Structure 1
Amino acid sequence: MANYKAGDVIRLTRNAVGLTQEELSDGICSVETLSRIENNRHKIKRDIYRRLMERLERGIHDNCAVCMGNDMSLLEEYILLEDTLSKREYDISKQYLAHICERISDSVVDRQYLKRVRALVDYELGEISAQVFIKQLQEAMEMTIPAYESYLWGDQRGKIYPYREQEILILMGMGIAYYDVGELDKDIIIYEMIIRSLDAGYMDEKNAAELKLINLANLARPLGKLGRYEEALAKAEEGLNMAISRGYAHGLVELMMGVAVNRLKLAKRKESDEREKELMNSKKMMRQAYYIAVARKDIHMLKLIKQNIKYFFDEEI
């Protein structure tokens, strides 16, 4: 569960929607107070925060995590659901999801969570098309950011918006679908935008770093698919270095494969001795990724690694 710096969230949202400090603070607080709030030098009162966020069309419920209240059995099912999602055990995920749907609250953030997870599970089980998946995620996104598309490919594109963790996961789901249907330019735009937002520093460092390295791995895929191997390798290496230096396991296998595959693609352009060295190093990295995937019981990545070793080296593992 991510934590956020209120001042940074207000400042980044204000800049994204195009309001001045005078316009945002009018009738709520002084410009001087808002300036101190935005620079995290003033402890903001809840009522002031609510009014500022409402003027920015961001209700304070957007800052909340999925609410399980005091129902410990519901919390346990939520944890189990998240675990099955991380393991891609979508049949089991669907069972937990059905139980949670009957008991979770009717808050905006909870309804958004359910809509996202239900769409993801249905898509991964082949029960809905990529187009339907995208549409359902768009509807989920509009629950908290009605004008979100303007920050993706509209007139606000390029501006940094402080997306919440839940909203980032929705955008990542869209990226999956756009990749699957071959709309790689949209896929790249989404991941680049997420990474820019995470680099803005409004989210706690640990959660921002974990999300960033996953999105670096995601970004490397369409770049490589388009033959932009140098860029893909740079993103995968950046993420891999982050994962190793911080001791993060999540996303590690995907990043290792991103590095290995793009090195192999680039090796074809090198002289024979250098090419042979790259081939050996990449094969070694793929094997390391395989054994990590074995330890994590990641069936999806095990299958992918086997396919790549067979394709590049005509070997079995």
Structure 2
Amino acid sequence: MAVYVVGDFLRETRLRKGYTQEEVSYGICTPASLSRIENGAQKPGRLILEKLFERLGTENNLFNSFVSREDMELYSAIQELIRNITDDDVAKIEAQIEVVEKLSTNASELEHQCLYFAKGELERQREKNDEKAMKMYMKAIRITLPDFDGKNPLRNNLLTFDEIMIINAIAILHANGDDIMTAIKLDTWLKEYMEEKVVDGKMKTAKYPMILYNLSYWLGEESCHKEALKYAEQGVEFCIKYGNLAFFPILLFNKGGALAEIGEVERARKYLHQSITIFEAMERPDLIQIAVEWCRIHYLIEF
């Protein structure tokens, strides 16, 4: 059985996938630094190592980088902040921002990316200020993707999971601002990227259904109901296969809504009822009320 050190594994994975050092390291570290890491001449920090693995379309499940206690505390605090963002927990996001800021006084810009993203989430969710949120998202994404203009995909660039999350958040702001086509363009890019370049893992399981949900919803808003149905069905199948329960019922609801829009009312009723039943099992009366009212007003279906 072959024994690998992290540099060997990074280099062999990069070469097997046909990526250059410039593509993998862009915005994370210099190509020269990646070369030294691959050759064993430089020990990468934990966050840099994680982001390099993500650019290679995988997760760092094999290697740990031995770092100082301070670096480990900052890394752990950033991971907790990412979980808070994923959970949409505004109170915890705000509290964790303070923790990360105290630990990141001497940190690099890469460590600040998640911090800026979190501040953008606060502006969007708590302050309802999409303009300030967009400024924070763009400040975050341009740390590693300086050429991104917020509207046009960079299809030649490799992406980390943080970059995918931030770009998706930017797409949501475009949709909220009545620029749904730009939102669709950005999330279509992310969808195709994850299908082509990201190996199945816990991050793909968490993020890919979210993008399919957004696309099915936005396409429905644009009256592209057959396309919306296709993405909703794809999302439902993915959730069943990989066990994403968070997005399963809302994708079911989108599937039912798309079916109702194209006139397949009985099939629509089946999936809409399933989604509401799951909301009941999840003890989410807020979602039940929204779903029931939506069905009554938009599809003339009573539950």
TM tier, smaller: 0.7 to 0.9
Q: Is the 8 A contact 1:229 1:266 kept in 2?
A: yes
Match of 1:169 in 2: 165
Tell me which stretches of 4 or more aligned residues in structure 1 moved more than 6 Å: none
Match of 2:302 in 1: 315
Q: Is the 8 A contact 1:160 1:193 kept in 2?
A: no
Per-residue CA deviation, residues 137-176 of structure 1 (Å, 9 max, x unaligned), is 11111101111239x52xxx57343210000000010011
Greater length-normalized contact order (CA 8 Å, ≥ 6 residues apart): 1
Describe the shift of the 1:12–1:303 C-alpha distance in structure 2 as closer, same or farther (beyond 3 A).
farther
RMSD: 3.9
For residue 177 of structure 2, the aligned residue among 181, 187, 212 is: 181
Q: In terms of mean alpha carbon deviation, does 301-310 or 127-136 score higher? A: 301-310
Shift of 1:241: 0.9
Match of 1:45 in 2: 39
> Is residue 199 of structure 1 aligned with residue 195 of structure 2?
yes
For residue 272 of structure 2, the aligned residue among 286, 296, 300 is: 286
What is the TM-score with the length of structure 2 in the denominator? 0.72
Q: 1: distance between equivalents of 2:92 and 2:17? A: 36
> Is residue 63 of structure 1 aligned with residue 79 of structure 2?
no
Match of 1:11 in 2: 19
Q: Is the 8 A contact 1:116 1:137 kept in 2?
A: yes
Q: 1: distance between equivalents of 2:53 and 2:286? A: 32
Match of 2:5 in 1: none
Q: Is the 8 A contact 1:160 1:197 kept in 2?
A: no
> Is residue 250 of structure 1 aligned with residue 242 of structure 2?
no
Per-residue CA deviation, residues 49-90 of structure 1 (Å, 9 max, x unaligned), is 99xxxxxxxx8784389x984449x948954x5555444332
Task: Determine helix, strand or coil for the equivalent of 1:280.
Answer: helix
Q: Is the 8 A contact 2:295 2:302 kept in 1?
A: yes
What is the TM-score with the length of structure 1 in the denominator? 0.69
Q: Is the 8 A contact 2:213 2:231 kept in 1?
A: yes
Match of 2:116 in 1: 115
Describe the shift of the 1:181–1:96 C-alpha distance in structure 2 as closer, same or farther (beyond 3 A).
same
Match of 2:103 in 1: 103
Task: Determine helix, strand or coil for the equivalent of 1:199.
Answer: helix
Q: Is the 8 A contact 2:14 2:20 kept in 1?
A: no
Q: Which amino acid aligns with 1:107?
A: S
Describe the shift of the 1:171–1:284 C-alpha distance in structure 2 as closer, same or farther (beyond 3 A).
same
Match of 1:35 in 2: none
Match of 2:59 in 1: none
Q: 2: distance between equivalents of 1:166 and 1:314? A: 40
Q: 2: distance between equivalents of 1:128 and 1:8? A: 45
Structure 1 unmatched runs, 5+: 18-23, 30-42, 51-58, 268-277
1:16-165 correspondence to structure 2 within 5 Å: 44-46=38-40, 62-63=51-52, 69-71=71-73, 75=76, 79=80, 81-82=81-82, 84-104=84-104, 106-125=107-126, 127-149=127-149, 153=152, 157=153, 159-165=155-161
Q: 2: distance between equivalents of 1:196 and 1:70? A: 34
Q: 2: distance between equivalents of 1:282 and 1:253? A: 14
Q: Is the 8 A contact 1:13 1:161 kept in 2?
A: no
Q: Which amino acid aligns with 1:63?
A: L
Structure 2 unmatched runs, 5+: 1-9, 26-30, 55-66
Q: Is the 8 A contact 2:84 2:93 kept in 1?
A: yes
Count of residue pairs brought into register by the alignment: 267
